[in-house]
A = this chain, B = another copy of it.
């Protein structure tokens, strides 16, 4: 399997773009941090290593990361887009604590199959889906008592 960096560089090449200093720094920072994060969070991490990189460039590069398949963008209805690693990571959905925001990654084959079936029953070619379950996590349930 190609390395993530390799994939990104090829993506740039295929689209007549080059790996600039800024893009390299941003991608490295992205690759170093797993988990869910916002564009602003990535920007602030990048800023520490390279204060000269502007936020617009981070937003622009994040878009390239998504297009290249390295990152996945989604939102949990909090008014901000969240990003996470995508390349080499299995698909999953999210279970979120409505109180403390804790996120658990979930997968269910049965659900995935039914989603495909539902789309097909309606004549749709399913391209992607988004599922988020909201609830109260064990910690918050306990605390509330």
Residues of A within 8 A of B (CB): 75, 77, 95, 97-98, 104, 106, 108, 110-111, 114-115, 118-119, 122-138, 141
For the complex of A and B, list the 6 residue pairs with the smallest distance between their C-beta atoms, beginning with the closest. Answer: A124-B135, A123-B138, A126-B135, A131-B131, A125-B136, A129-B133
Whether A104 lies near B126 (C-beta < 8 A) is no
Evaluate contact between A123 and B137: CB separation under 8 angstroms.
yes
Q: Is there contact, CB below 8 Å, between B124 and A97? A: yes
| Count of chain copies | 2
A129 to B118, CA, bound (A): 17
B130 touches A132 (CB 8 A): yes
Q: Is the CB of B133 within 8 A of A132?
A: no
Q: Would you list 18 pairs from A and B whose C-beta atoms are within 8 A, ordered by A residue?
A: A75-B77, A95-B118, A95-B124, A118-B133, A119-B133, A124-B133, A124-B135, A125-B135, A125-B136, A125-B141, A127-B134, A127-B136, A128-B134, A129-B134, A130-B131, A130-B134, A131-B131, A131-B132
Q: Contact check, B106 vs A110: say whether CB atoms are below 8 A apart.
A: no
Q: Which residues of B contact A97 (CB under 8 A)?
A: 124
Say which residue of B77, B95, B110, B129 sits within 8 Å of A114 (CB atoms).
Answer: B110
